[in-house]
Structure 1
């Protein structure tokens, strides 16, 4: 199973980049992971929030294939414990999902077209985090899930 992680914009803070790189390297032992940073929209002051979400949706949906299982990281999504998330990933792998695509949207969330295409929505927390921090939190949780699946000692319960 391949995992694709799509984000709008780039991670700029060095300490976050370092953390993301650390977990991406660790994940190579467990899964094929592709990170896609979509270019942040320019000159958005002339656009309404809805127009901005629609333009971001075009960029996101161009990267998603018809057979991909699309999961939105969304504040209204389902919340999991780390063990539940590991079970979710494991079930997706067993059900022959060839490619799981996780997406972090832009500053205003997702356009309706992205919600319509999505297979699932997942919330990392009820709290709001910066988009840059979400990237680090997600790859760490992905790594944690794989160590849980493999029965390795990273996660303590």
Structure 2
């Protein structure tokens, strides 16, 4: 799939949906850096909500919801790129990647998800997860554009 152009349109938006603001400066800087890089490929933003209820209320019909959860599927970066290509081509207006609160996701919110993705088997602070995910999203988009950021080895 490497080298295929993602079929993004201005109507497709990728949102990192998180509970609470980003707290630490290194995470704010890292997230801002990767958001700017991602912006060259796709409409992207981070949306911070106050709690689980607000996270659930943020969903709209037609959204594709992906939970970032340690119980989710583990993918290599190239596999994430391929999956992202598939999701973008499936026609959602928004693709939401959600990070739960300290206790994860409610059963109701989990039931709304089309997919669960793990970044690692390890547990990370929520601020760090935001940066790790943004980097992997940027990496996936650069793989799809056949750009030299990612190196298989």
Report the TM-score when normalising by structure 2: 0.89
Please give the root-mean-square deviation of Cα atoms over the aligned residues, in Å. Answer: 0.9
Whole-angstrom CA distance in 2 between matches of 1:112 and 1:15: 32
Deviations 1:103-144 (A, max 9, x none): 001001111101111111110000100001000000000000
Deviations 1:48-89 (A, max 9, x none): xxxxxxxx3321111110110111111110111000000000
Question: How do residues 39-50 of structure 1 correspond to structure 2 at under 5 angstroms?
Answer: 39=50
Question: How do residues 3-14 of structure 1 correspond to structure 2 at under 5 angstroms?
Answer: 3-14=14-25
- The answer on 1:148 being equivalent to 2:143 is yes
Tell me which of 49, 55, 66 is aligned to 1:38.
49
Find the counterpart in structure 2 of residue 47 from structure 1: none
- The number of residues matched between the two structures is 141
**Structure 1 runs not aligned, ≥5 long:** 40-55
Q: Which has a greater percent of helix?
A: 1
- The answer on 1:121 being equivalent to 2:116 is yes
Whole-angstrom CA distance in 2 between matches of 1:63 and 1:15: 27
Deviating 4+ runs (over 2 angstroms): none
Give yes or no for contact 2:19–2:52 (8 Å, CA) kept in 1.
Answer: no
**Structure 2 runs not aligned, ≥5 long:** 1-11
Which protein shows a greater Rg? 1
Partner of 1:88, secondary structure, is helix
Give yes or no for contact 2:27–2:128 (8 Å, CA) kept in 1.
Answer: yes
